Amino acid sequence: MRTGVLLSVLAGVALAAGAARAQCGQAFDFANFSSVTDLNLVSQALVVDDRLHLTQTGLGGEGAAWYAVSKATFDGGFRTSFRFAIQNGTADGFAFVIQDDANDTVGSGGSGLGYAGIPRSVAIEFDTYFFSDEFQGMHVSVQNDGPSGNSEADAFSLAHAFLLDSVTDGEFHDVKIEYTPGVLYVWLDGEPILFCPLDLSMLDGGSALFPDCAWVGFTAGAGGATADQVIESWSFTDWSDVVECVGPTSNGFNGPGFTPQTGDRVTFRSVVNGTGPLTYVWRKQDIDLNDDTRILGSRSEVMIIDPFIPADAGSYQFASGNACGGYGVGSIDVGIRCPGDLNDDGFVDDADFLLFLPSYDALLVPDADKRCDWNGDRVVDDADFLLFLPYYDQLICP
């Protein structure tokens, strides 16, 4: 299935990217850091046992590492992947940074995570140390203050999401960041965790923040509390090395593999091959889905619906495209277990109503049972009771 609008947008992206690629562009892959001749290591950053340490236990301050061969271009988007670990402490965090200042720059340490103060920069920060004036817990956030020096303050976050405590367990975790003009996704250990509406061509008062191209790299910071902020591997591409466009292909896509019940976390996955930039879209009943408070990844290879509610049951489709082609995959149907049957006896009757009442009294999920939250707003209230009534009147599960 070809989508004309999608392909025309991608063709425009490719032409714009081509103009920039005459001046700059990057595609590289560090399987490890046994050689860092292509990097500029700044301040505390150093290599130990073929791993890049941005900060070190026992030392406050900041560190940075920039790919110094040439700048990257961003008109057509980019994809970067890396493995990181936070070891021997939790403070303060690190960031993947795009900036048009210099390839030997570094910002302030501590909660500034090594990027604060760098002008014309966008930082995707992994903040692992909680301060009372920041978002209420460890988080990933996209930070930008236009052409001015960047800031870690919440007011300059374009989007954020909270991180699980496991990111500081000392083990290595996989991150993928993918940007196409208009949208940026951050993935952690194979699942999307952050969606950010983003257009780099609009961040300087409606103009491009990076008129030509910019440097890419990592920064980190520590203060009174410290940690080893370690990068084990790193790859990056702005697709400037593409010689011949290859249209997207895939082995298909899959849904949850089970019949979910109300309140479940449901994941849809597809793996797409082809030259970038690639776009993706998930659809329900052939209508494009969009990210919201329950849906994450509608423009990504993986989409999560959490919580899944009765209205989500139906037929799902997936499509992808790039400048030289597009494809769509057939439909898969995802049902839902009888929403009103809380005791799984095949009936929706007084016994289920009595199970519904405690959640109705508790109001918030949790402590209310997520199976009673039929509109997915994490509150069990009159709206859910009205959705429950048709099942209660129907008695027998369909």
Give the pLDDT score at 337: 94
Provide the pLDDT confidence category of residue 352 given band limits of 50, 70 and 90.
very high
Handedness of CA 338, 340, 345, 349 (dihedral sign): negative
On the question of pLDDT at 334 being above 90, the answer is: yes
Q: Per-residue DSSP letters for 159-178?
A: EEEEPPGGGGSSS-EEEEEE
Reply yes or no on domain 23-237 having CATH 2.60.120.200. yes
Q: Give the start-to-end residue ranges of the domains of the chain.
A: 23-237, 249-334, 350-394
59 alpha carbon, distance to own chain's centre = 30
In the chain, what percentage of residues exceed pLDDT 90?
Answer: 79
CATH code: domain 249-334 is 2.60.40.10
Provide the pLDDT confidence category of residue 4 given band limits of 50, 70 and 90.
very low
Higher pLDDT, 175 or 323: 175
Report strand pairing: 46-48 vs 51-55: antiparallel
- CB-based burial label for 321 (10 Å; 0-12, 13-18, 19+): buried
Give the pLDDT score at 6: 35
Average pLDDT over residues 333-352: 92
Q: How do residues 240-249 score in pLDDT, each as one tens digit?
A: 988 889 999 8
Q: How many CA atoms lie within 13 A of 390 on its CB side?
A: 9
CA distances from 7 to 77, 188, 197, 326 (A): 16, 29, 20, 7
Q: How do residues 152-186 score in pLDDT, each as one tens digit?
A: 999 999 999 999 999 999 999 999 999 999 999 99
pTM of the model: 0.90
On the question of pLDDT at 19 being above 60, the answer is: no
Which residue shows structure tokens 């410290």? 226
Provide the pLDDT confidence category of residue 132 given band limits of 50, 70 and 90.
confident
Give the C-alpha separation, 167 to 353, whole Å: 41
Average pLDDT over residues 277-296: 96
Residues with Cβ within 8 Å of 249's Cβ and at least 6 positions away in sequence, in order, are 272, 273, 274, 327
Amino acid at 325: G
Of 7-21, 41-55, 94-108, 163-177, where does mean pLDDT reach its minimum? 7-21
Give the pLDDT score at 396: 78
Question: What is the pLDDT of the chain when averaged over all its residues?
Answer: 91
Question: Which tokens sit at 143?
Answer: 């930070």
Give the C-alpha separation, 124 to 112, whole Å: 12
132 alpha carbon, distance to own chain's centre = 25
Handedness of CA 142, 61, 164, 135 (dihedral sign): negative
Higher pLDDT, 213 or 24: 213
CB atoms within 10 A of CB 5: 8
Q: How do residues 230-274 score in pLDDT, each as one tens digit?
A: 999 999 999 998 888 999 988 788 999 999 999 999 999 998 999
119 bridge partner residues: 149
Give the C-alpha separation, 350 to 310, whole Å: 20
